[in-house]
Structure 1
């Protein structure tokens, strides 16, 4: 296309440096805005994880057989549920690119919904910058634009606000992007409603069981299994002990004896 695709320091605006964050974007797949899409330059297959496939309400009959396994870094083999062709749109009108992509549907836990791999980036004539957390696309219309995670998906920086003067234990956090007027109004509103805050365990007298109640959904006819006791590191064990003592002191929990069934602390 005889186009220069480049990045500069201006493209790092909004990115906290230094960082080792992955490039995560939002794309439109089959008409749905799909978040948590990892851009990976190192692999050769586009992956759609089964929970995302189900959330897109795709017909399972669209899956075509795929017999070859995927091999992870650890050497484990994962056999895809199948391969599916989906319509993917990058960007927003008028600067957008719509193409069909073949995804391998994989059923295994991961924090992402989709992984876009090297062959697709090459088809899109895309250049990525992990430093800037952005990608540039070259298109026939002779323009370049940035695709990146939407502003509303980013984690906003927070500031700590003291709600009771002189008491550093009674604070909360608010966003740093508020206008001065909105910031002042929000702080005043929070101060006027201090009674809704629980500063300690003692401030939470409890919830009536008819409002909400947590139960273990177990079959009483089945024999309980005793877990093998886990050993915790000293610091973690002390943290558990401190938390248990807090809950005991305010009556949230009580000590009981189960000779046949025990569970480790969570």
Structure 2
């Protein structure tokens, strides 16, 4: 289906109606339901934009605990939104007795949902990669603090420095170590949550991709019908113009014949009268 055909279908009214065909009847419930889904899908774009900004801060000097919390909240909120809209799209897919324009609305929603979901999944994976790297670095740093290297007696000054460093580490607050440990555990929990949401949305993406494929075939049929109607209309217009030209030519010929007959008749009448 060409871009022009898609634009032609999209420019048509959502609800076609023909009194002699029930499949073209207005369906206010369908229109309200799909409009609500479209509005909710559009509202998720602001979440995706905000998430993009926050993910860009991960792994940089601007990364803070608040940034990680914001990323987690946005991912959870947006994942829930996509799952709810996905369930709505399944209901739209199962809607019966729809006209061509309503089927196009189905396909348009599916394609917009698929594009937004793809963008969100890319941000999920980026956040997951950065969170894993950050958590690994934090875990390594904490382990190095808890397991200092034992000094040897053969290195003299170096061994003495190591002893001093170990003494400083032992004097470090155990509460601080426990606090850092709790932060790392919490971060690892957030990573598992992101991994779970990625898996859930992968299944949803497959379902929507399947619906897009099915409706793509239906739209190809509709586009072919639109093209056929357009060709027939152009052919009919050409035939009408040709018939009009023939009609004008026939009228001209008839006028000429009438004029000739009138002249001949006048000559005959004059000849009879004068004779």
Higher Cα Rg, which structure:
2
- Structure number with the higher helix fraction is 2
Normalised TM-score (structure 1): 0.19
Normalised TM-score (structure 2): 0.18
**Structure with greater contact order relative to length (CA < 8 Å, sep ≥ 6):** 2
